[in-house]
Homo-oligomer: A and B are copies of this chain.
Amino acid sequence: MNTFKVPALPRQRPVSLAQEVMSDLMDKIRGGQYKPGEKLPTEPEMMVEQGVSRTVVREAISRLQASGLVETRHGVGTFVRPSTNSPAYPLDLSTLVTIHDVLNMLELRISLETEAAGLAAMRRTDEQLQCMHEAVLAFEEGVNHGGMSIEADYQFHLQIALATHNRYFEDFYRYLGTSTIPRTRLDTSQFSAEPGKSYLFSTNREHENILDAIARQDSQSASAAMRMHLSNSRERLKRAGEARPKNDS
């Protein structure tokens, strides 16, 4: 909370320009601004629209192709795939790019993990409780050494899923992996001036609250603590997103 190290840096770089452009295009496609059929502007047009070079535009489009959202025909243009509304995958994590996506995913996680925490409190074994405890310690340890402790964070939540003794909670959480933990996807520099410390300490305290409730097999408190934890994450993320709506054109 010192050192005004930001003298004059108008060059905000959340993640990468290509990522930003891709997010923007994805929003416009999902929002119906670009409808199925031929719509996408040509590369030179996008260059001026987004204010970036052709390299970036091409990279963004390339990713959209990989996601199957658009299709490019040589010498003709780029088109929105009509089959966008029939997802072959149950949950397509490859399109999880915009802040809006992450917020929605977080909403789904709130739903699942709140319940999971409640079930875990009732059904946990002592070994599982011990594993959660170790994950919390590892998290704290990592934070104190300046790390983000993503793995420990993941482990903690996974242990809760395991403690439900319901295979599907575990499967689902494994599937999501670490890709839905906000700070793995979004540049933490978007957050407060001290991105790591205070943010991660709060997270750690919330983890401890959840752990305590599960330890004393208090199902309702565990649910409530988990809901609070993820809701806080969501609010932090939402605020970060509002602070910089995007498109600095």
Contacts and interface: CB of A to CB of B under 8 A. Distances in A.
A249 interface: no
B166 A87 contact: no
Interface in A143-176: 164, 166-169, 171-172, 174-176
B177 A86 contact: yes
Interface residues of A, number: 44
A62 interface: yes
A127 B164 CA distance: 38
Given A66-B66, A105-B168, A111-B116, 12 more contacts: A62-B63, A66-B94, A83-B179, A86-B176, A90-B171, A90-B176, A91-B171, A91-B175, A104-B167, A107-B115, A108-B166, A108-B168
14 contacts: A18-B62, A62-B62, A68-B93, A86-B175, A86-B176, A89-B89, A91-B168, A91-B175, A104-B166, A107-B119, A107-B169, A110-B115, A111-B112, A114-B115
Nearest to A89: B90
A22 B63 CA distance: 12
Given A110-B115, A114-B111, A178-B83, A91 B90 contact: yes
Contacts of A67: 66, 94
Interface of A: 18, 22, 55, 58-59, 62-63, 65-68, 83, 86-87, 89-94, 104-105, 107-108, 110-112, 114-116, 119, 164, 166-169, 171-172, 174-179
